[in-house]
Structure 1
Amino acid sequence: MTLGDWTPDTLGTGRVLPVVSAPEPVLSRVGAEVDPADPDVVRLAADLIATMRVSPGCVGLAAPQVGVSAQVFCVDVTGHPKAGTVHGVFALCNAKIVEASRWRPGREGCMSVPDLTGDVKRAGRVVVEAALPGTGEPVRLVTDAFEARALQHEIDHCAGLLFLDRVVGPHAIYQRKVYL
């Protein structure tokens, strides 16, 4: 199945939550698999989307970033200049990458590492299998370009990894530029 008729509206209205920063321990723990139909998981997915929407430049947010050690995240790369395939706003539970190809480096940043960016080699095309929050319906998502990078970044968060764990070396970490 694909995302089909699923919309974030099926989750209800979420709350904006505070985002934790490294070295907060929850960011380095493997998140627990979740029951996508559990009302608490559905609320968490809605909260992640609400928090992402009010955060300038944010294209994805994972449960560990709001202090919850769980395998839930949301993504929305709509309008991003590096996006190819775009599935709009979506949330996934227990996501796993089942295919990855076209590896290339790219610059990444993260709300939980607010002062740094880094060059990370990621797949330019991925196939992800997961479950939709609310229904628990299985989904197989095929994507590329920036959306593929965003998915890998958020799946890493759920696995207890930051982009800093994947940079090609210390020479590939930079102070974040602030544009006025």
Structure 2
Amino acid sequence: MGLGFERGITADMAQQETEQPVNSEFIVDTEDCEARELAHRERGTSRPITVVGNPVLHRECKDVTEFDEKLAQLIDDMFASQKTAEGVGLAANQIGVDLKVFVYDCPDDEGVRHTGAICNPVLDELPAGRRVLDDSNEGCLSVPTAYAALARPDYAVVRGQNAKGEPIAIEGTGYFARCLQHETDHLYGRLYIDRLSKRDRKDALKQMAEGTPRYPIVENG
């Protein structure tokens, strides 16, 4: 939603954990969210966030091919980094790692909390009937202090693999759908500001230049 997805635009959403309706096609990512997120970040080390202009953010990342302890540690570090930055989603290249993996700890529009990680994500093409656009504000940890309205479908399905290499699919609605789309974009070298008009992109970059990040970043040389 990195979104690195920003948490700020959901400050009024009450996060809650709930039982998710059983659909064998999609993973259940709404159970034990607090305990799972805490376990990840307690094992992890927070890293600074890369920002727009860093080359790793502007090219497609490499596929994850080794589902090993190194990947598990990366995911732990990503959860720790996401927490430090107060984000709801974070892609590996947002901490400078050139791999297709993102983590999320994000509420949907009903306030239901979703927590998990996915490798090698690919978004489903939505049928016309499911393409209902939502033009809410969007922010990004890699474009700190900036926000802009961006129309995205309010429903998303992303397919990939879990940390063990097993195939998974994740379904999202509302704000969580935006997060899934935003993070997948990151891994293919696209930031949300790349989807804006030239005028809106310029305004977002101006907001960033005038703001002060609330979390550690990697300064571009």
TM above 0.5: yes
Out of 55, 64, 70, which is 2:85 matched to? 55
Structure 1 counterpart of 2:195, which letter? R
Q: TM-score, normalised by structure 2?
A: 0.69
Match for residue 147 of structure 1 among 176, 192, 216 = 176
| Counterpart code for 1:83 | D
Residue 99 of structure 1 and its aligned partner are, at CA, apart by 3.6
Alignment correspondent of 1:118: 148
1:84 aligns with 2:113: no
Q: Is 87-96 or 2-11 further displaced after alignment?
A: 2-11
Aligned residues: 173
Amino acid at match of 2:189: G
Cα distance in 2 between the residues matched to 1:131 and 1:36 = 11
Q: Is the 8 A contact 2:40 2:75 kept in 1?
A: no
Number of the residue aligned with 2:191? 162
Query: For the residues of structure 1 that align with 2:26 and 2:42, how far apart are their CA atoms?
Result: 21
Stretches of structure 2 lacking an aligned partner (at least 5 in a row): 1-24, 213-221
Choose the corresponding residue for 2:123, options 88, 93, 97: 97
Q: Deviations along 1:50-104, whole A, 9 cap, x unmatched?
A: 1112222x111100100011111111113xxx62374522111001111432122
Percent identical residues: 30
Residue 132 of structure 2 aligns to which amino acid in structure 1? R
Question: Going by fraction, where is strand more abundant, 1 or 2?
Answer: 1
1:67: which partner in 2? 96
How far 1:154 sits from its partner (Å)? 0.5
Instruction: Give 1 or 2: higher helix fraction.
Output: 2
User: Which sections of structure 1, spanning at least 5 residues, go unmatched?
Assistant: none
CA distance in 2, matches of 1:68, 1:16: 13
Q: Distance in 1 between matches of 2:56 and 2:200?
A: 26
* Coordinate RMSD, CA, aligned: 2.5
Q: Secondary structure at the match of 1:88?
A: strand
Q: Distance in 2 between matches of 1:102 and 1:46?
A: 34
User: Whole-Å Cα distance in 1 between the matches of residues 70 and 42 of structure 2?
Assistant: 12
